[in-house]
Amino acid sequence: MKVLALGDIAGKAGRLAIENDLPLLKEKYNLDCVIVNADNAAHGFGMSDRIAGELFDCGVDIISTGDHYTDRDTLKVADKYPNVVRPANLPKVKEGRGHVVLNTGKEKILFISVMGRLYMDDPRREPSNPYHEVRKILDEYKDIKIKIVEIHAEATSEKVGMGHYLKGEVSAVFGSHTHVQTSDLKILEGGTGYITDLGMCGDQNSMLGAKTESALPRLLESAESRRLEPAEGVGTVSGVIFDIDPKTGKCTDVILVN
pLDDT at 116: 96
State how beta strands 192-195 and 200-201 pair. Answer: unpaired
Q: Is the pTM for the entire model greater than 0.85?
A: yes
Q: Is residue 121 pLDDT above 70, yes or no? A: no
Residue 21 lies in a domain: yes
- What Cα–Cα distance (Å) separates residue 191 from each residue in 107, 187, 249, 255? 18, 6, 8, 15
> Above pLDDT 70, what percent of the chain?
96
pLDDT at 222: 67
Residue 44 lies in a domain: yes
Give the total number of structural domains in the chain: 1
Which CATH number belongs to the domain containing residue 98 in this structure? 3.60.21.10
pLDDT at 141: 97
Quick one: three-class SS letters along the chain? CEEEEECEEEHHHHHHHHHHHHHHHHHHHCCCEEEEECCECCCCCCECHHHHHHHHHHCCCEEECCCCCCCECHHHHHHHCCCEECCCCCCCCCCCCCEEEEECCCCEEEEEEEECCCCCCCCCCCCCCHHHHHHHHHHHCCCCCEEEEEEECCCHHHHHHHHHHHCCCCCEEEEECCCCCCCCCEEECCCEEEECCCCEEECCCCECCECHHHHHHHHHCCCCCCCCCECCCCCECCEEEEEECCCCCCEEEEEEEC
Residue 209 lies in a domain: no
Mean pLDDT of the chain: 94
For residues 124 and 98, is the Cβ–Cβ distance under 8 A?
Answer: no
pLDDT at 229: 86
- Read off the pLDDT band of 123 (50, 70, 90): low
* Domain that residue 191 falls in: 2-203+238-257
Residue 73 lies in a domain: yes
Question: Which sequence positions are flagged as catalytic?
Answer: 68
Residue 28 lies in a domain: yes
Q: Is residue 98 pLDDT above 70, yes or no? A: yes
pLDDT at 227: 74
CB within 8 Å of 27: residues ≥ 6 apart: none
Residue 223 lies in a domain: no
Looking at this protein, which amino acid is placed at residue 45? F
pLDDT at 194: 98
Q: What residues are paired with 2 via a beta bridge?
A: 243
pLDDT in tens, 150-173: 999 999 999 999 999 999 999 999
pLDDT at 219: 84
Report CA torsion sign: 251, 198, 174, 109.
negative
- Read off the pLDDT band of 132 (50, 70, 90): very high
Q: 178: buried, middle or exposed (CB in 10 Å: 19+, 13-18, 0-12)? A: buried
Residue 230 lies in a domain: no
Question: Region 224-228: what's the mean pLDDT?
Answer: 68
Question: Region 65-78: what's the mean pLDDT?
Answer: 93
Pick the more confident residue, 225 or 193.
193
Residue 227 lies in a domain: no
Q: Is residue 217 pLDDT above 90, yes or no? A: no
pLDDT in tens, 21-48: 999 999 999 999 999 999 999 999 999 9
Q: Is residue 214 pLDDT above 90, yes or no? A: no
